[in-house]
Structure formats: structure tokens, C-alpha cells
Chains A and B, each alone.
Chain A
């Protein structure tokens, strides 16, 4: 109880710290910008956070991270607008929203759909925020037990799980993308003996590929090309009914809200998976449990609520491992993590020792962004409709200009513009061949962790591999990793299903036995 009160006290102090006109001004413009970025098809949350990072260099760390979290949370919510009104998800996280959001809009209930999406996003974000405040300190303290062996497996676990969940149809493509990301991270001076790997005399490559230009390329330039290649979208729906949701209608689905919030947060905590998977899993769970499952896909309020609660709950969830383990839970969280390092914040297991108040500051940042989402979401319906009407031929060149200057601005090297272009082309090709981007990004972040910890672990054990497999946390991590790989092989999965059926028959499971 005393710990809870202490946590609450720290959270309230952090809230009070941001109650200044300057901080509130930053919350307002950045949340609004996030919503606009999310609402515009082709501009994703990752791209938004990456681009806005380049605008925050001169700001103090707390304000810079506040802005980025507002953009992140706002963008995941903003994507629901185009999902409902255009039947095109503004960000990949809103793909599940289109299933019921667009049919509702087509039935003349666009306002209601946007109101439900806003309620779901706000409640999901608050549920995720609660777990961020309670789980992050616990995980941070627990992570202090991690040694090189555990960090090595955590890196492999992250890549394998992220690869599996982001490429469900063909997990091997997810793993290849992840391992390619790890390989990209090998370029440059390594961290133990300062040997220059794969640099071939280039001074530009000494520090390796910077994450922000790589992300801006993979998510920005690749997206610009992708948007320009696809046929133009048109706004086909507009809101004529009220957007203010009825409380009774929202809380009628309290079970769905809590379930989706929990699912979203848990998926957020899993490294490199992200908001799109959170929305799909929440949606599928809601459909399975709903007494009105036949309405799903035809304009179900519950389905829309589940998808939007799940994706926004994932945002604080994805920040939990980024803060406590320096391993991002999603692609936008990966950029956020990079931005924290740029601003001199050192996330990782030591955060609860070195700066525990920062964790509560982040919780307060999520709270303010949620508040901004609620206010702008319910008030700025018409202006957001105008934004959706901006033709891509006018928006995309401006986005690309920002991609180029944003990549350049970090270290002021034209080399980083080429990095952005290279990763843009590479990312576009990989995406066209169904390789997911999230594991690759995670790989670029985890490369250094994997490299140092495998070698350190081997030095500590004097070449003995046993501790990598027998220490309790390592044991769990490699077992889960191996199971994930084995279960993606069809004959193994069928055999596992047969064993599960023999041990615990479906009939008993359905009866809850």
C-alpha cells in the first residue's frame, strides 16, 4: 500500500511539473500534429515520431520526450479518422478499425463511430498508462538481475517473437528481416575492442548507420513511394451525426474495454510487435467473446471499441520495455528510445536506480497526450476532415523534404541523406516482398546489445555455453524462442495440437474445465 501511495505521489508530482503554459502549449500542438499525421494515409506514427525528433534537438529532454509521446499517442488515435471516413487505415495500427468503423460511417453514423473510436483510444491509453506506472518500476527492478546471458537471449527473443507476430503468414520473413537489422547494426566501430567492422576506410561509416535517418528512410521515403504508387483515395463519408459519445453506450462494453486494454498493453510489452497486432488480437478476442459476434465486420460498435482500445493501450505498453530494458515494444517506441539517447536520457535496467522520477514523468506525458486526444478528438471534427482532403501530390513532396532535412539535421552530414535514401529503397523492396519492417528496426537497435552481451557472456563463462541455457531467466527466454520457431513449422504445430487435445480436450476447455 505504501508503495502504491509513493507511486501515486510521484505521478502527481510529475503531473504538477508539466502544468506550465510552455509544457501545455507543447502538449497541444504536438498531440494535434500527431492526430493529423495519423489521420493522413501514408504518414505513420513511426515516421511522425522520427520526423518530429529532428525538431526537438534544442529542447530540454523532458519537453522533447513529452512532444514525442504526444505525437506517438496522437498518431495512433488519429489513424482511426481515415479508417472510418476513407476505409483506409491512417496507420497500420488502425487496419482493424476499418472493419466496423467504415460500415458505421456508410450507415450515416460517422460521428458515432468517431466518438466510439475516441472513447476507446482514451480508455485504452489510460489502461496502458496504469500498467506503465505499476509494471515499469517492477520490471525495472527485476531487470537489475539481468546479466549478459539474459540480455543475449532477450535480443534473440525480441527478434524471433517480433518476426513471428509481425509476419504471421510466413514467420521466416520476419526473422530474416530481424537478422538483417542485426547485421546492419554490425557496421561501424564495435563496442569492445573498437575495431572498425565493414567500414572499408569510410569515416562516415565509423559510427555505423544512425537509427533516425534509417527509420526516416524505411518508414518515410518508403511510405512516400508506396502512397504515390497506389491509386488516390477520396473522402467518401462525412460526419452529420453527433460525435460526442453517450456514456451508457461506452460503458456497456466495459468488459471489452478492460480486455482490449490488457491485451494491448501485454502486446506492447513484447519487443517489436506493436499497435497493429494489438488491435487485431483485441478485435479477435472481442469477437470470440461477444454475444453479438455476427455484427462484427458489419458496423459493430464493440468491434470498433476493441480495436481502438487495443492499439492505444499498446502505446504505453510499448514504452515499458523501452524504458526499463532499452528494448522497444514497437517501431515508434524504437524511435522514441533513440530520441531518449539523443537527449541524454539513459533508459535501461539502471533507470529505476539513476532516475526513477523520469518513469513517472513519462506516465504523466502519456496522461497529457491522452487528455489532448480527448479534447481535440471531440472538438476538431471539421478541420480534420479538411486535412484528409489534402491531395497526396501536394503532401508527399513536403513530407519528403522533411525526410531529407530531418535526416541531415542530426549530425549535419549529407551522408545521412544517402542513408535515408538507401533505407527507403531497401525498405520499399522488402515491404513489397512481404518482409515486415518492425523486426528489422528492432534488429538495428538490438544489434549492439546482442554483440556485446554474447561476447561478454562467453568471456565470463570462459567459453562455456552452459550458463546461456541453465540460468532461470535465460532458460525461459530460450525455451519460448525455440517454441516460437518450432510451432511455426506445420508438422510440429499439428503434433503439438494433437498432444494438447489429448491432454486437455477442446470440450473440457470450452466448459472451462
Chain B
């Protein structure tokens, strides 16, 4: 965790410096004769400074605990990816972002939703050495869940809540 804290601390220092810089650049609105202490950049600058202080403490603390010795290596990546939990996480993230970020809005909503649910279920329930019967059962279950959910959600949001679907 100390290594993660070190990296987070550095990232937070960058973010806070950016926020303070941007706050400084915000207009003082002198031409509107506004009170100098009501300027828009005041509170973001205050927050930026507080986060900067926390981030510096985080970095110092992690350096004292040896967190700056990151020891990054290319070899660690395949090891991380070979862990089943990380593989499931990666597939979930890719499928979910692919569906919500790209598929929705590009093809009809019901179709996108059905495809996502079908693919999600099949990829996670598929096992090596499944019999033909098991394949059929999985395909059927995934198909029913995909069609049922897609139809129900589309109907509920479109007809019941009067939402124009993407």
C-alpha cells in the first residue's frame, strides 16, 4: 500500500497544483465591482491548497516507509494478468465500458442491451470441456435472460417512464 500511496500522493500534488493554477487564472471580475473575496477562484484555490498539503504528507509518509522504491518491472504485468480475479475484473470493465460507452447510442438500445447480457453471461459461465448439452443450456439461459431483461428495461423506461432511449 505504501507504493500506491506514494504514486497517489504524487498524482494528488499534480492535481492540486493544477487546481491552484487554474483558480489563480480565474477572473477577479473587477469590472463588475464585485467584492474581492467573492471571486470564483477563491474556494477551488483553498481546496487545492488543502489537498496539496495532504498529498505532501502522504508522499513524505510513504517515502519514510520505503514506498518510493517502486521496483516496477515489465515481468510483473503478465503475473498480474494471470490472476483469475484480475482477469474477471478486466473482462467486466471492458465489456461494461464497451456496452455503455460505445454500443449504447450506436445501435438500437434493446439490441445493445441484449447483446451485452448474452455475451457477459456466456463468457463468464463458459468452461473448458463443456458438453454439447451444457453449451445449449448455457446459450438458452443467456438468451432468455438477454431477451427478457432487454425487453423489460426497454418497455419500462420507454413506455412507463417516458424516456427517449439512446
A interface residues with partner B (beta carbon < 8 Å): 54-55, 57-58, 172, 175-176, 179-180, 182-183, 186, 190, 192-193, 195, 197-198, 221, 224-225, 228-231, 391, 393-394, 396-398, 400-405, 408-409, 412, 414, 417-418, 420-421, 425, 433-434, 450-451, 454-456, 458-459, 463
A394 touches B35 (CB 8 A): no
Nearest-Cβ distance from residue A5 to partner chain B, whole angstroms: 42
* Complexed CA–CA distance, A163 and B113 (Å): 38
A-B residue pairs in contact (CB < 8 Å), sample of 19:
A172-B54, A176-B58, A179-B50, A183-B48, A193-B29, A193-B32, A225-B93, A393-B124, A394-B121, A397-B149, A404-B99, A417-B166, A418-B101, A433-B4, A455-B37, A455-B38, A458-B35, A458-B38, A459-B35
Contact with A along B32-43 (1 / 0, CB 8 A): 101111101111
Partner of A224, one of B92, B124, B162: B92
Nearest-Cβ distance from residue B7 to partner chain A, whole angstroms: 9
A400 touches B43 (CB 8 A): no
Partner of A409, one of B34, B44, B163: B163
B96 touches A224 (CB 8 A): yes
B89 touches A195 (CB 8 A): no
Q: Which residues of chain B from 130 to 166 have a CB within 8 Å of any chain A CB?
A: 141, 145, 149-150, 153, 156-157, 160-166
B163 touches A192 (CB 8 A): no
B interface residues with partner A (beta carbon < 8 Å): 1, 4-5, 8, 12, 19, 22, 26-27, 29, 32, 34-38, 40-44, 46-48, 50-51, 54-55, 57-58, 85-86, 88-89, 91-93, 96-97, 99-101, 104-105, 109, 113, 116-117, 120-121, 124-125, 141, 145, 149-150, 153, 156-157, 160-166
Q: What chain A residues lie within 8 Å of B99 (beta carbons)?
A: 400-401, 404
Partner of A414, one of B105, B121, B163: B105
Main secondary structure on A side of the interface with B = helix
| Given A179-B50, A396-B120, A397-B117: A404 and B100 interface contact (C-beta under 8 Å) | yes
Counting chain B CB atoms within 10 Å of each CB, the highest count among A394, A402, A434, A450 belongs to A394
The 3 closest A-B pairs by CB, nearest first: A458-B37, A397-B120, A195-B40
* Complexed CA–CA distance, A203 and B118 (Å): 35
* Complexed CA–CA distance, A414 and B100 (Å): 9
Nearest-Cβ distance from residue B59 to partner chain A, whole angstroms: 12
The A/B interface has a contact count, at CB < 8 Å, of 153
Nearest-Cβ distance from residue B82 to partner chain A, whole angstroms: 14
Partner of B42, one of A394, A402, A414, A455: A455
A400 touches B101 (CB 8 A): no
Q: What chain B residues lie within 8 Å of A402 (beta carbons)?
A: 153
* Complexed CA–CA distance, A386 and B47 (Å): 48
- Among residues of B, the one whose C-beta sits closest to the C-beta of A425 is B93
Q: What chain A residues lie within 8 Å of B150 (beta carbons)?
A: 401
- Among residues of B, the one whose C-beta sits closest to the C-beta of A420 is B100
Nearest-Cβ distance from residue A29 to partner chain B, whole angstroms: 13
B93 touches A408 (CB 8 A): no
Partner of B100, one of A393, A400, A463: A400
Nearest-Cβ distance from residue A112 to partner chain B, whole angstroms: 35
